[in-house]
Amino acid sequence: MKKLLGVTGCPTGIAHTFMAAEALKKAAEAAGAEMKVETNGAIGVENALTAEDIAGADCIIVACDKKVDMERFNGKPVLEVSVSHGIQHAAELVAEAISGKVPVRGGKAPDGVDAMFQIDAKPGAAHEIYKHLMNGVSHMIPFVVAGGVLVAVSFLWGIYSFDPNSEQYNPTAALLKQIGGFSMGLMVPVLTAYIASSIADRPGLVSGFVAGTIAAATGSGFIGGILGGFMAGYLCRFLVKSLSGLPREFEGLKSIFLVPLVSVAVIGGIMCLLAGPVASVNTAMMDFLSNLQNSNPVILGIVIGCMCAFDMGGPVNKAAYVTGTLLLGQGNYFFMAGVSAACITPPILIALATTIFKGKFTKDERAAGMVNYILGCTHITEGAIPFAAKSPLTVLPILMLGSSISAVLTYLMKIQVPAPHGGFLILALVDQPLAWVLCILIGSAVGAVIYGITRQKPAEE
């Protein structure tokens, strides 16, 4: 039997989406084919196509008037039509899809250099978990950035400026620190809630927020939050699924009463029971990392440097960055200093190389190099990607070396960076700003010289 897939969607997503889905299914049934249809309606994505579905499909019919992710269908026969075409000509579409004459969409899945930066394109369980985790992280980061910078700004008045009993006390500073604190305080709950909502959509949010708040309050921190997020998400997904047999009249009861109540009670209970053990794991890990900072700054610096420069903004880089921000939330300002230094180095390194070795770069590359000064100063590692992409095997190790040197020096100098982003814009908040810039410049300069020497002259200007 032929296996077909469908995707339907329309701008408002309340009527056409579902008519098209039904029409396609009916038509497929009539033609003796198997069909699964993903609806992108106002309720959200339902019946989402999995990587497995797509891999096993003979053809995919996309009847959509709004943007949906098409990249996932690369290398598959795809029919793309408007949603109303899908409603009216479902039978013809299905016949065409079954005929096997549908052109294959786009090139094959990304390969070569691109694939290096597309680790997240791999399907499978690990990718799923990564995706959910990143959904939490990406929602969390703005809270940390806003809160972290506000708290850091309050330190401009002095590190004790929030304390009414201190000589440094300043009401504005105290207010800023308080606001920043509230924003930072939402860090774990938001992380947890959006991990859960990535798994179970809206129903997951409720127990996710509760689990995160418990994790934050009981000291099990972000490890507890991540655990809670996944538990809440999968429990809600299970609840929604197991309650799907209920008659329609109970639909409202289910979504506003049953699922929230049961999931919050269960997850809340588990989180409270887990609080003790997880809190000790959390403390142990924090201690381990801060010990590493003190006892083995060189090893830590090399690891962080290599991670940050390895895929520039990709998952490996993010892992280091997220650890830095989480530690920041727990009052460890040393760790982030090295991460920031390692993230700032690659673009600066590139920029320096294009300046020092003018003759070895094309005009376009030199222009891109100038832009990299700005990107580097603002902690945007991605600026170095175009250069690395041209010859990853030589450029990446150089970038990793440069970043490692910057990070190692930063850890050796015990520099503190209290804000999670901003590059040199937050220099005023760094406790040894000159030393930090110097660390980064040394790493960048060493890398730039090696890059410049190893690079071949461009064939033609």
Long-range contacts of 390-397 (CB under 8 A, 24+ apart): 392/113, 392/116, 394/454, 395/451, 396/309, 396/310
15 binding other proteins? (CB under 8 A): yes
Count of residues interacting with other proteins (CB under 8 A): 31
Nearer to other proteins, 50 or 88 (CB): 88
Q: How far is the CB of 63 from other proteins (least distance, A)?
A: 11
Nearer to other proteins, 38 or 65 (CB): 65
CB 190 within 8 A of CB 123: no
Nearer to other proteins, 76 or 89 (CB): 89
Q: Binding string, 218-257, against other proteins, x = CB under 8 A? A: ------------------------------xx-xx--xx-
- Residues forming beta bridges with residue 3, ordered by sequence position: 34
For the chain, count helices (H), then strands (E).
Answer: 19, 5
21 binding other proteins? (CB under 8 A): yes
CA distance 20 to 90: 8
- Residues forming beta bridges with residue 79, ordered by sequence position: 61
Nearer to other proteins, 255 or 432 (CB): 255
Of 39-47, 155-163, 300-308, 404-412, the segment contacting other proteins by CB under 8 A is 39-47
List 78, 83, 236, 312, residue binding other proteins (CB under 8 A): 83
Helix 333-356 / helix 259-295 crossing angle, nearest 10 deg: 70
40 binding other proteins? (CB under 8 A): no
10 flagged as catalytic: yes
Q: Exactly one of 10, 236, 308, 377 is catalytic; name it.
A: 10
Of 77-85, 91-99, 115-123, 384-392, the segment contacting other proteins by CB under 8 A is 77-85
195's tokens: 């991990």
Q: How far is the CB of 268 from other proteins (least distance, A)?
A: 24
CA end-to-end span of the chain: 58
Total residues found in the chain within this entry: 461
Residue 457, C-beta contacts closer than 8 angstroms, at least 6 positions apart: 359, 360
The SS3 of residue 108 is coil
CB 306 within 8 A of CB 319: no
List 4, 16, 322, 324, residue binding other proteins (CB under 8 A): 16
80 binding other proteins? (CB under 8 A): no
Cα 103 → chain centroid: 33
Nearer to other proteins, 259 or 312 (CB): 259
Of 16-24, 219-227, 238-246, 404-412, the segment contacting other proteins by CB under 8 A is 16-24
85 binding other proteins? (CB under 8 A): yes
62 binding other proteins? (CB under 8 A): no
Q: How far is the CB of 39 from other proteins (least distance, A)?
A: 8
61 binding other proteins? (CB under 8 A): no
Of 12-20, 111-119, 185-193, 272-280, the segment contacting other proteins by CB under 8 A is 12-20
The SS3 of residue 174 is helix
- Residues forming beta bridges with residue 104, ordered by sequence position: 77
Residues 251-270 that bind other proteins (CB under 8 A): 251-252, 255-256
CA distance 328 to 149: 11
Q: Could you tell me whether strands 34-41 and 78-81 are parallel, antiparallel, or unpaired per DSSP bridges?
A: unpaired
H/E stretch holding 199 = helix 187-200
Long-range contacts of 255-260 (CB under 8 A, 24+ apart): 255/203, 259/203, 259/206, 260/203, 260/206, 260/207
List 19, 205, 223, 430, residue binding other proteins (CB under 8 A): 19
166 binding other proteins? (CB under 8 A): no
414 binding other proteins? (CB under 8 A): no
386 binding other proteins? (CB under 8 A): no
Residue 386 vs residues 316, 374, 389: alpha-carbon distances, Å: 18, 15, 5
List 26, 72, 127, 414, residue binding other proteins (CB under 8 A): 26
Q: Which stretches of the chain bind other proteins, using CB under 8 A?
A: 10-19, 21-23, 26, 39, 41-43, 65, 82-85, 87-88, 248-249, 251-252, 255-256
User: What amino acid positions are annotated as catalytic residues?
Assistant: 10
